[in-house]
Homo-oligomer: A and B are copies of this chain.
Amino acid sequence: MNKKITLAKRPVGLPGADTWNLSEEPVPQAKEGEAILKTSYISLDPAMRGWINDTRSYIPPVQIGEVMRAGTVGQVVESKNPDIKVGDYYTGWGGVQQYCVIADKGWHQVDPSLAPLPTYIGTLGMPGMTAYFGLMDVGQPKDGETVLVSGAAGAVGSIVGQIAKIKGCRVVGIAGGKDKCDHVVNELGFDACINYRTENVRKGIKQHCPDGVDVYFDNVGGDILDAALTRINRGARIPICGAISQYNSTEPKGPVNYLSLLVNRARMEGFVVLDYAKDFRTAAMEMGGWMMQGKLKSKEHIEEGIENFHETFLRLFSGDKLGKLVLKVD
Protein backbone atom coordinates (compact mmCIF):
# COMPACT_ATOMS: atom_id res chain seq x y z
CA MET A 1 0.00 0.00 0.00
CA ASN A 2 1.04 3.61 -0.66
CA LYS A 3 0.42 6.00 2.25
CA LYS A 4 0.02 9.56 1.07
CA ILE A 5 -0.86 13.04 2.31
CA THR A 6 -3.33 14.99 0.18
CA LEU A 7 -4.55 18.54 0.62
CA ALA A 8 -7.93 18.40 2.39
CA LYS A 9 -8.64 22.13 2.66
CA ARG A 10 -6.92 25.48 2.27
CA PRO A 11 -5.81 26.75 5.66
CA VAL A 12 -6.19 30.27 6.97
CA GLY A 13 -3.21 31.19 9.12
CA LEU A 14 -1.19 28.37 10.65
CA PRO A 15 -2.34 25.12 9.04
CA GLY A 16 -4.31 22.87 11.34
CA ALA A 17 -4.27 19.07 11.20
CA ASP A 18 -7.46 19.18 9.13
CA THR A 19 -5.49 20.77 6.28
CA TRP A 20 -4.29 17.31 5.35
CA ASN A 21 -5.75 13.94 4.63
CA LEU A 22 -3.77 10.75 5.21
CA SER A 23 -4.92 7.87 3.05
CA GLU A 24 -3.73 4.64 1.54
CA GLU A 25 -4.06 3.22 -1.93
CA PRO A 26 -2.43 0.34 -3.73
CA VAL A 27 1.14 1.03 -4.84
CA PRO A 28 0.96 2.25 -8.46
CA GLN A 29 2.12 0.02 -11.30
CA ALA A 30 4.67 1.22 -13.81
CA LYS A 31 3.49 1.61 -17.39
CA GLU A 32 5.84 1.38 -20.33
CA GLY A 33 8.59 4.05 -19.92
CA GLU A 34 7.89 4.53 -16.22
CA ALA A 35 9.39 3.29 -13.00
CA ILE A 36 8.22 3.12 -9.39
CA LEU A 37 10.24 4.95 -6.75
CA LYS A 38 9.99 4.09 -3.08
CA THR A 39 10.46 7.35 -1.24
CA SER A 40 13.37 7.45 1.22
CA TYR A 41 13.24 11.11 2.35
CA ILE A 42 10.83 13.98 1.87
CA SER A 43 11.97 17.59 1.93
CA LEU A 44 9.94 19.94 4.14
CA ASP A 45 10.29 23.59 3.14
CA PRO A 46 8.62 26.87 4.12
CA ALA A 47 7.69 27.44 0.47
CA MET A 48 5.19 24.60 0.82
CA ARG A 49 2.99 26.94 2.84
CA GLY A 50 2.67 29.17 -0.24
CA TRP A 51 1.85 26.27 -2.55
CA ILE A 52 -1.39 25.53 -0.71
CA ASN A 53 -2.73 29.08 -1.08
CA ASP A 54 -5.04 29.58 -4.02
CA THR A 55 -3.12 32.57 -5.39
CA ARG A 56 -1.20 33.31 -8.55
CA SER A 57 2.41 32.41 -7.87
CA TYR A 58 5.49 31.02 -9.60
CA ILE A 59 3.94 27.53 -9.73
CA PRO A 60 0.30 26.49 -9.67
CA PRO A 61 -1.21 25.87 -6.25
CA VAL A 62 -1.67 22.31 -5.03
CA GLN A 63 -5.31 21.46 -5.60
CA ILE A 64 -7.68 20.04 -3.01
CA GLY A 65 -7.41 16.25 -3.13
CA GLU A 66 -3.95 16.29 -4.75
CA VAL A 67 -0.91 14.72 -3.13
CA MET A 68 0.99 17.48 -1.32
CA ARG A 69 3.88 18.67 -3.48
CA ALA A 70 7.35 18.01 -2.03
CA GLY A 71 10.86 17.29 -3.17
CA THR A 72 11.89 13.71 -2.47
CA VAL A 73 14.69 11.22 -2.91
CA GLY A 74 14.04 7.51 -3.22
CA GLN A 75 14.99 4.16 -4.70
CA VAL A 76 13.70 2.46 -7.81
CA VAL A 77 11.71 -0.68 -6.93
CA GLU A 78 10.21 -1.47 -10.33
CA SER A 79 11.08 -0.24 -13.81
CA LYS A 80 9.68 -0.41 -17.30
CA ASN A 81 12.15 2.22 -18.51
CA PRO A 82 15.45 0.87 -19.86
CA ASP A 83 17.29 3.99 -18.61
CA ILE A 84 16.07 3.66 -15.01
CA LYS A 85 17.46 0.68 -13.09
CA VAL A 86 15.92 -1.00 -10.07
CA GLY A 87 18.03 -0.20 -7.00
CA ASP A 88 19.17 3.20 -8.26
CA TYR A 89 18.32 6.41 -6.44
CA TYR A 90 16.54 9.40 -7.93
CA THR A 91 15.49 12.83 -6.74
CA GLY A 92 12.58 14.94 -7.97
CA TRP A 93 9.08 16.10 -7.04
CA GLY A 94 7.73 12.90 -5.55
CA GLY A 95 5.26 14.49 -3.14
CA VAL A 96 4.35 13.46 0.38
CA GLN A 97 3.81 9.75 -0.21
CA GLN A 98 5.61 6.44 0.09
CA TYR A 99 5.71 5.55 -3.59
CA CYS A 100 5.54 7.51 -6.81
CA VAL A 101 5.72 6.98 -10.53
CA ILE A 102 8.75 8.45 -12.26
CA ALA A 103 9.95 8.83 -15.82
CA ASP A 104 13.07 10.53 -17.18
CA LYS A 105 11.69 14.03 -17.15
CA GLY A 106 12.21 16.06 -13.99
CA TRP A 107 14.09 13.29 -12.19
CA HIS A 108 17.80 13.11 -11.56
CA GLN A 109 19.81 10.11 -10.51
CA VAL A 110 21.90 10.54 -7.37
CA ASP A 111 24.75 8.53 -5.92
CA PRO A 112 24.40 7.65 -2.21
CA SER A 113 28.09 6.80 -2.02
CA LEU A 114 29.04 10.42 -2.75
CA ALA A 115 26.72 12.10 -0.24
CA PRO A 116 24.07 10.94 2.24
CA LEU A 117 20.64 10.74 0.64
CA PRO A 118 19.09 13.66 2.59
CA THR A 119 21.82 15.93 1.25
CA TYR A 120 20.35 15.53 -2.23
CA ILE A 121 17.15 17.22 -1.10
CA GLY A 122 19.09 19.69 1.07
CA THR A 123 22.47 21.20 0.32
CA LEU A 124 22.68 19.60 -3.12
CA GLY A 125 18.95 20.00 -3.74
CA MET A 126 16.52 22.91 -3.94
CA PRO A 127 17.53 24.62 -0.67
CA GLY A 128 21.20 24.52 -1.64
CA MET A 129 20.48 25.76 -5.16
CA THR A 130 18.30 28.51 -3.68
CA ALA A 131 21.17 29.60 -1.47
CA TYR A 132 23.72 29.43 -4.25
CA PHE A 133 21.83 31.35 -6.94
CA GLY A 134 20.09 33.75 -4.59
CA LEU A 135 23.39 34.75 -3.07
CA MET A 136 25.60 34.67 -6.14
CA ASP A 137 23.23 35.98 -8.80
CA VAL A 138 21.01 38.35 -6.81
CA GLY A 139 23.19 39.16 -3.81
CA GLN A 140 26.45 39.37 -5.77
CA PRO A 141 28.74 39.45 -2.72
CA LYS A 142 32.21 40.85 -3.17
CA ASP A 143 35.34 39.95 -1.26
CA GLY A 144 35.48 41.89 2.01
CA GLU A 145 31.79 42.82 2.06
CA THR A 146 29.43 42.06 4.92
CA VAL A 147 26.66 39.53 4.32
CA LEU A 148 23.79 39.32 6.80
CA VAL A 149 21.44 36.33 6.57
CA SER A 150 18.26 35.53 8.46
CA GLY A 151 17.07 31.98 9.03
CA ALA A 152 20.77 31.39 9.45
CA ALA A 153 20.48 27.89 10.88
CA GLY A 154 17.96 26.80 8.27
CA ALA A 155 18.35 24.82 5.09
CA VAL A 156 18.95 27.88 2.90
CA GLY A 157 20.47 30.39 5.32
CA SER A 158 23.12 28.00 6.61
CA ILE A 159 24.35 27.44 3.05
CA VAL A 160 24.16 31.14 2.13
CA GLY A 161 26.43 32.01 5.04
CA GLN A 162 28.95 29.31 4.27
CA ILE A 163 29.17 30.26 0.60
CA ALA A 164 29.58 33.91 1.58
CA LYS A 165 32.47 32.90 3.83
CA ILE A 166 34.04 30.98 0.95
CA LYS A 167 33.70 34.18 -1.12
CA GLY A 168 35.65 36.18 1.45
CA CYS A 169 32.84 38.03 3.20
CA ARG A 170 32.18 38.84 6.82
CA VAL A 171 29.09 36.78 7.59
CA VAL A 172 26.56 37.49 10.32
CA GLY A 173 23.54 35.29 10.91
CA ILE A 174 20.20 35.84 12.60
CA ALA A 175 18.56 32.79 14.14
CA GLY A 176 16.09 31.85 16.85
CA GLY A 177 17.84 30.31 19.83
CA LYS A 178 21.25 29.93 21.41
CA ASP A 179 21.73 26.39 20.07
CA LYS A 180 21.20 27.60 16.51
CA CYS A 181 23.49 30.59 16.93
CA ASP A 182 26.19 28.43 18.49
CA HIS A 183 25.82 25.97 15.61
CA VAL A 184 26.25 28.50 12.82
CA VAL A 185 29.22 30.19 14.52
CA ASN A 186 31.02 27.14 15.90
CA GLU A 187 30.16 24.51 13.29
CA LEU A 188 29.56 26.53 10.13
CA GLY A 189 32.10 29.31 10.66
CA PHE A 190 29.87 32.39 10.62
CA ASP A 191 31.57 35.41 12.19
CA ALA A 192 28.63 36.09 14.50
CA CYS A 193 24.98 35.22 14.99
CA ILE A 194 22.19 37.26 16.53
CA ASN A 195 19.58 35.40 18.58
CA TYR A 196 16.40 37.26 17.67
CA ARG A 197 14.48 35.62 20.49
CA THR A 198 16.59 37.25 23.18
CA GLU A 199 18.53 40.09 21.51
CA ASN A 200 17.57 43.43 20.00
CA VAL A 201 18.17 42.63 16.34
CA ARG A 202 18.88 46.21 15.29
CA LYS A 203 21.51 46.63 17.98
CA GLY A 204 22.91 43.21 17.17
CA ILE A 205 23.34 44.14 13.51
CA LYS A 206 24.99 47.41 14.50
CA GLN A 207 27.39 45.57 16.77
CA HIS A 208 28.28 42.68 14.48
CA CYS A 209 28.23 44.56 11.17
CA PRO A 210 30.40 47.56 12.09
CA ASP A 211 30.91 48.40 8.40
CA GLY A 212 27.20 48.10 7.59
CA VAL A 213 25.46 45.45 5.50
CA ASP A 214 26.21 44.99 1.80
CA VAL A 215 24.02 41.96 1.22
CA TYR A 216 21.04 41.06 3.37
CA PHE A 217 19.69 37.66 2.36
CA ASP A 218 16.15 37.63 3.66
CA ASN A 219 14.33 34.42 4.53
CA VAL A 220 11.97 35.85 7.12
CA GLY A 221 10.51 39.30 6.34
CA GLY A 222 8.69 41.21 9.08
CA ASP A 223 10.52 43.04 11.85
CA ILE A 224 13.87 41.48 11.02
CA LEU A 225 13.75 42.76 7.44
CA ASP A 226 12.91 46.18 8.84
CA ALA A 227 15.82 46.02 11.25
CA ALA A 228 18.20 45.02 8.45
CA LEU A 229 16.99 47.90 6.27
CA THR A 230 18.23 50.39 8.86
CA ARG A 231 21.83 49.15 8.51
CA ILE A 232 22.31 48.65 4.77
CA ASN A 233 25.15 50.28 2.91
CA ARG A 234 25.03 52.30 -0.24
CA GLY A 235 24.38 49.99 -3.17
CA ALA A 236 23.26 47.12 -0.94
CA ARG A 237 21.46 44.11 -2.39
CA ILE A 238 18.60 42.37 -0.60
CA PRO A 239 17.67 39.04 -2.18
CA ILE A 240 14.10 38.25 -1.16
CA CYS A 241 14.14 34.49 -0.75
CA GLY A 242 11.15 34.14 1.51
CA ALA A 243 9.24 35.61 4.43
CA ILE A 244 8.48 32.83 6.88
CA SER A 245 7.29 35.32 9.50
CA GLN A 246 4.48 36.31 7.14
CA TYR A 247 3.34 33.02 5.63
CA ASN A 248 0.78 32.24 8.31
CA SER A 249 -0.12 35.81 9.08
CA THR A 250 -3.64 36.94 8.36
CA GLU A 251 -2.43 40.54 8.68
CA PRO A 252 0.80 40.59 6.69
CA LYS A 253 3.18 43.47 7.16
CA GLY A 254 5.35 45.21 4.60
CA PRO A 255 8.81 46.59 5.26
CA VAL A 256 8.08 49.99 6.80
CA ASN A 257 11.72 51.01 6.36
CA TYR A 258 11.80 50.32 2.62
CA LEU A 259 12.70 53.96 1.86
CA SER A 260 16.15 53.04 3.10
CA LEU A 261 16.45 51.59 -0.41
CA LEU A 262 16.14 55.11 -1.79
CA VAL A 263 18.55 56.77 0.62
CA ASN A 264 21.11 54.00 0.08
CA ARG A 265 20.56 53.43 -3.65
CA ALA A 266 19.91 49.83 -2.74
CA ARG A 267 17.71 47.15 -4.18
CA MET A 268 15.39 44.45 -2.98
CA GLU A 269 14.99 41.69 -5.51
CA GLY A 270 13.01 38.51 -5.65
CA PHE A 271 14.08 35.30 -7.34
CA VAL A 272 12.80 31.78 -7.90
CA VAL A 273 15.31 28.96 -7.88
CA LEU A 274 13.54 27.05 -10.66
CA ASP A 275 14.69 29.72 -13.12
CA TYR A 276 18.27 28.50 -12.68
CA ALA A 277 17.54 24.85 -13.48
CA LYS A 278 19.93 24.70 -16.42
CA ASP A 279 22.81 25.65 -14.10
CA PHE A 280 21.94 23.36 -11.18
CA ARG A 281 24.40 20.71 -12.25
CA THR A 282 27.34 23.11 -12.39
CA ALA A 283 26.42 24.60 -9.02
CA ALA A 284 25.99 21.17 -7.42
CA MET A 285 29.41 20.14 -8.66
CA GLU A 286 31.00 23.25 -7.19
CA MET A 287 29.14 22.76 -3.92
CA GLY A 288 30.04 19.07 -3.84
CA GLY A 289 33.66 20.11 -4.18
CA TRP A 290 33.35 22.48 -1.23
CA MET A 291 31.72 19.69 0.80
CA MET A 292 34.61 17.34 0.05
CA GLN A 293 37.04 20.04 1.14
CA GLY A 294 35.12 20.48 4.40
CA LYS A 295 34.22 24.09 3.57
CA LEU A 296 30.52 23.45 3.27
CA LYS A 297 28.66 21.47 5.91
CA SER A 298 25.15 20.07 5.90
CA LYS A 299 22.98 19.57 8.91
CA GLU A 300 19.63 17.79 8.77
CA HIS A 301 16.88 17.48 11.28
CA ILE A 302 15.20 14.15 10.49
CA GLU A 303 11.76 13.08 11.64
CA GLU A 304 10.13 9.81 10.65
CA GLY A 305 6.90 8.62 9.11
CA ILE A 306 4.36 9.95 6.64
CA GLU A 307 1.74 9.98 9.41
CA ASN A 308 3.89 12.55 11.26
CA PHE A 309 3.92 14.95 8.33
CA HIS A 310 1.65 17.56 9.92
CA GLU A 311 3.53 17.85 13.23
CA THR A 312 6.84 17.87 11.40
CA PHE A 313 5.65 20.53 8.94
CA LEU A 314 4.74 22.82 11.87
CA ARG A 315 8.37 22.72 13.04
CA LEU A 316 9.21 24.91 10.05
CA PHE A 317 7.22 27.70 11.65
CA SER A 318 7.85 27.03 15.33
CA GLY A 319 11.56 26.82 14.60
CA ASP A 320 11.78 23.61 16.61
CA LYS A 321 14.48 22.05 14.46
CA LEU A 322 18.11 22.59 13.56
CA GLY A 323 19.14 22.54 9.92
CA LYS A 324 17.28 21.15 6.95
CA LEU A 325 13.96 19.56 7.92
CA VAL A 326 13.48 16.12 6.40
CA LEU A 327 10.87 13.44 6.82
CA LYS A 328 12.24 9.90 6.62
CA VAL A 329 9.85 7.40 5.11
CA ASP A 330 9.76 3.91 6.61
* Per-residue B-contact encoding for A65-76, CB less than 8 Å = 1, 0 else: 000000000000
Question: Is the Cβ of A266 less than 8 Å from the Cβ of B269?
Answer: yes
Smallest distance from the beta carbon of A198 to chain B beta carbons, Å? 25
Is B270's CB under 8 angstroms from A267's CB? yes
Let me know if A257 is at the binding interface, CB within 8 A. yes
Chain B positions within 8 Å of A242 at CB level: 262
Q: Which of B221, B256, B264, B267 contacts A253 (CB 8 A)?
A: B256
Task: Give the shortest distance, in Å, between A265 (CB) and chain B (any CB).
Answer: 6
Distance of A304 Cα from B69 Cα, bound (Å): 66
A107 nearest CB across to chain B (Å): 25
Given A267-B268, A269-B267, A270-B266; A252-B261 close (CB under 8 Å):
no
Interface flag for A298 (CB, 8 Å)? no
B258–A254 contact, CB under 8 A? yes
Chain B residues near A246: list those with CB within 8 A: 259
Contacts of A275 in B (CB 8 A): 265
Is A241 close to B, CB under 8 A?
yes
Give A3 Cβ to nearest chain B Cβ, in Å.
32
Residues of chain B with a CB closer than 8 A to A272's CB: 262-263, 265
What residues on B are CB-neighbors of A221 within 8 Å? 259
Interchain CA distance A240-B243 in the complex, whole Å: 21
The total of chain A residues at the interface (CB under 8 A) is 32
A226 interface contact, C-beta 8 A: yes
Q: What is the CA–CA distance of A254 and B256 in the complex, to the nearest angstrom?
A: 4
Query: Among the listed B57, B253, B261, B271, which residue makes an inter-chain contact with A268, where contact means beta carbons less than 8 Å apart?
Result: B261
Look across to chain B and name the residue whose beta carbon is closest to the beta carbon of A236: B270
Is B258 a contact partner of A268 (Cβ separation < 8 A)?
A: yes
Asked if A259 contacts B271 (CB within 8 A), the reply is no
Closest CB-CB distance, A193 to chain B, in whole Å? Answer: 24
Interface residues of A in 226-259 (CB under 8 A from B): 226, 240-243, 246, 252-259
In whole angstroms, what is the CA distance A266 to B258 when docked? Answer: 15
Nearest B residue (CB) for A239: B262
Residues of B contacting A240 in the complex (Cβ-Cβ under 8 angstroms): 258-259, 261-262
* Interface mask (A131-148 → B, CB under 8 Å = 1, otherwise 0): 000000000000000000
Chain B residue contacts of A268, Cβ below 8 A: 258, 261, 267-269
Contact of A254 among B241, B254, B263, B266 (CB under 8 A): B254
A213 and B272 CA atoms in complex are apart in Å by 19
- The 8 Å CB contact of A261, one of B253, B264, B265, B269, is B269
Bound-complex Cα distance A258 to B238 (A): 12
Interface: A56 (CB within 8 A) = yes
9 nearest A-B pairs in the assembled complex, by CB-CB distance = A254-B254, A262-B270, A261-B270, A267-B269, A254-B256, A254-B255, A268-B268, A240-B262, A57-B263
Give 7 new A-B contacts, CB below 8 A, not counting A240-B259, A242-B262: A246-B259, A254-B254, A254-B256, A260-B270, A261-B268, A261-B270, A264-B270
| Between-chain CB contacts (< 8 Å), 28 pairs | A57-B263, A226-B254, A240-B258, A240-B259, A241-B262, A246-B259, A254-B255, A254-B256, A254-B258, A255-B255, A255-B258, A258-B268, A261-B268, A262-B271, A262-B272, A264-B270, A265-B270, A265-B271, A265-B272, A265-B275, A266-B269, A266-B270, A267-B267, A267-B268, A267-B270, A268-B268, A268-B269, A269-B269
